[in-house]
Chains A and B, each alone.
Chain A
Amino acid sequence: MSATVTPVAINTFREAVRDRVLYNLVLFALIMIGAAILVGEISIGIERLVIINLGLTAISIFGLVMAIFIGVGLVYKEIEKRTLYSLLSKPIRRWEFLVGKYVGLLVTLAANTAFMTLGLAAALFYVGRRFERSDLSILGAIYFILLELALVTALALFFSCFSSPMLSTLYTLAIYIAGVFANELRTIGDFTQNPALLVLTRTLYYLLPNFHNFNAIATAAHGDAIPFSLLWQNTLYAALYVALLLLAAAAVFSRRNLK
């Protein structure tokens, strides 16, 4: 299987790298991190806090933008441009193609995130001249951001299998925002007296991807440790949800008549 998935992944990565839009996004994010240094000057004593907050938020937001922006076109573009025709004439299964595209984009996102993390580390070093043990939680927060991106990419890929980029972006964003507020949704349900509403909100709560789990920016900013249990639980959650989405995407795509 990897003989077919790997070339597709590598090609997807190569496409992303040659797409100049990506460089602009990464540059912008680096500028944000530079700005963080400036902003940190305002309050002495919480420079580090502000830099980490701004840096991690920038990495998260730009990662999301890239994941959605590229993700929604992953399959759609290949169908529209008919590049898929010659590819599928090779001995590759449709689901292998999907997995290859997914892995390719994920690797791209990971590379970009790593690059931006270096920028953040440079900013922190510039301000503090040294690193502390508590800075490890920043790596944990970044790992969680990557898990989040893996989930969002899978969402975007899923929609890309059957709807246009514009609609896919809307759907993916909508689910992302709903997922951020998943906890609130559950609280609303808990407070209501209506049993039907309770069941509905509970069901929605479990169905929607809970993105709040992955937010460790505040924790990293305050230098608190991330509990080990959260690390493996989040990994497992992301892995399960991604598997679910890829499976659904494969199913939808397997019987699709290509125009």
Chain B
Amino acid sequence: MSHPGQTRLLWIAAIGVPLLFVAIATLQRKMDDTTLAHTSDDEELMLTSGSAVRNISLGYDSLVADIYWTRSVQYYGSRAGVPEAKFDLLWPLLDITTALDSKLTIAYRFGAIFLSEPPPAGAGRPDLAIELVKRGIAANPDNWYLNGDLGFLYYWRIGDYPSAAAAYLQGSKKPNAPPWLGMMAARILEKGGSLETSRMIWSQIYESAQDKTVREKAKEMLLGLRAQEDEQQLDGIAEIYKKRFGHFPASASDLQDAGLVRGVPADPAGYPYVFGSNGESSLDPRSPVVIPPKINPAPAASK
């Protein structure tokens, strides 16, 4: 090619190539915007069985397990808190993860919390959670954390106190198990669904959690439980107020003025409690604290 011709081509390329890139990027952006509008929430999982995935992994199961674990966390994280969110794929993802690496304890523990958590914060399938954790216990017989998780599930999600106690008891027998497992078993058998027991369970989860999401959930629960305790106490004080003044307090500051409490009773988020006409205390509607729903204990007959 002649010299001037070659230089011209270089110039055209120097200008044209970046321009074309810009054009391509703009087009891609446009395409993404339109498809995003049409995107439904449906994410596809092509392979749903653990053994199918294991066959594809060609022996590199451990790494593929990590990939599926990452997917599980992202799947949950992108949907948590979104109204009307569904978590249909959480179970298959965790199922595959643990099938590929049965020693990935963090996956069992994650599933225990978020598979069982009712929507919109979880999949609402305590049965699957229990199955997952049981699998985890079978594959990791020395891991007492998982027994704690199983106990949590029976206690908190299903209200099956005898099974819960049994799970904690079994955990307490494992090597290096801390004493609180045994104590928990005894406590549940003794006191059933008391607030204090619940608080102990969530405290343990908070302390032993390896995953950030799980820890935050536990914290949320603990704050809610504290609010519940506060409310119980406040109801009692409201009764005393009524006896003294002949009517229920109208607000939390009434109690303070009456000298019954020191400072204005406020929830962990700082919002003062409000009182209803029947004297029952409750959270300020603007408060972010959530009181966990009460689980009624299951009938005695259980697995």
Contacts and interface: CB of A to CB of B under 8 A. Distances in A.
Direct contact of A and B (CB under 8 A): yes
Interface of A: 39, 42-46, 49-50, 53-54, 57, 60-61, 177, 180-181, 184, 211-212, 215, 217-218, 221-222, 224
28 contacts: A39-B70, A42-B73, A43-B73, A44-B210, A44-B211, A45-B106, A45-B211, A46-B66, A46-B69, A46-B104, A49-B66, A49-B104, A50-B66, A53-B65, A57-B60, A60-B60, A177-B58, A180-B58, A180-B59, A181-B55, A211-B59, A212-B59, A217-B60, A218-B61, A218-B101, A218-B103, A221-B62, A222-B103
A11 B62 CA distance: 38
Contacts of A184: 55
B3 interface: no
B212 interface: yes
B295 interface: no
Contacts of A211: 59
Nearest to B103: A222
B63 interface: yes
A43 B60 contact: no
A43 B211 CA distance: 7
B182 to A, nearest CB: 26
Interface in B14-72: 55, 58-63, 65-66, 69-70
Contacts of B59: 180, 211-212, 215
A10 to B, nearest CB: 33
Interface residues on B, range: 10 to 19
A215 B54 CA distance: 14
Nearest to A42: B70
A177 B59 CA distance: 9
Contact of A53 (B62, B73, B106, B210): B62
A42 B77 CA distance: 12
Interface in B84-124: 101, 103-104, 106
A44 B63 contact: no
Contacts of A53: 62-63, 65-66
A43 B106 contact: yes
A178 to B, nearest CB: 11
Residue among B55, B59, B65, B210 with max Cβ neighbours from chain A (10 Å): B59
A45 B110 CA distance: 13
Nearest to A49: B66
Which of the listed residues A43, A180, A211 has the most CB atoms from chain B within 10 Å of its own CB? A43
Contacts of B211: 43-45
Contacts of A42: 70, 73
Among B60, B70, B101, B212, the one with the most A-chain Cβ atoms within 10 Å of its Cβ is B60
Contacts of B73: 42-43
Given A42-B70, A44-B210, A215-B59, 16 more contacts: A43-B69, A43-B70, A43-B106, A43-B211, A45-B106, A49-B104, A53-B62, A53-B66, A57-B62, A57-B63, A61-B60, A181-B55, A217-B62, A218-B62, A218-B101, A218-B103
Q: Which of B55, B60, B62, B103 has the most CB of A within 10 A?
A: B62
A224 B104 CA distance: 13
Contacts of A217: 60, 62-63
Q: With a 10 A CB-CB cut-off, give which of B61, B63, B65, B73 has the most chain A CB atoms.
A: B63
Contacts of B212: 44
B97 to A, nearest CB: 11
Contacts of A177: 58
A54 to B, nearest CB: 6
A54 B8 CA distance: 48
B210 A46 contact: yes
Contacts of A180: 58-59
Nearest to A61: B60
A222 B139 CA distance: 13
B67 to A, nearest CB: 9
Interface in B111-144: none
A54 B62 CA distance: 9
B151 to A, nearest CB: 22
A144 to B, nearest CB: 12
Contacts of A221: 62
Nearest to B62: A218
Nearest to B58: A180
Contacts of A45: 106, 210-211
Best-buried of A180, A215, A218 by chain B (most CB within 10 Å): A218
Q: Would you list the 8 A-B pairs with minimal beta carbon distance, nearest first? A: A45-B210, A218-B62, A53-B63, A57-B63, A180-B59, A53-B62, A217-B62, A57-B60
B162 to A, nearest CB: 33
Interface string B194-213: 00000000000000001110
A211 B60 CA distance: 12
Given A217-B60, A218-B62, A46 B106 contact: yes
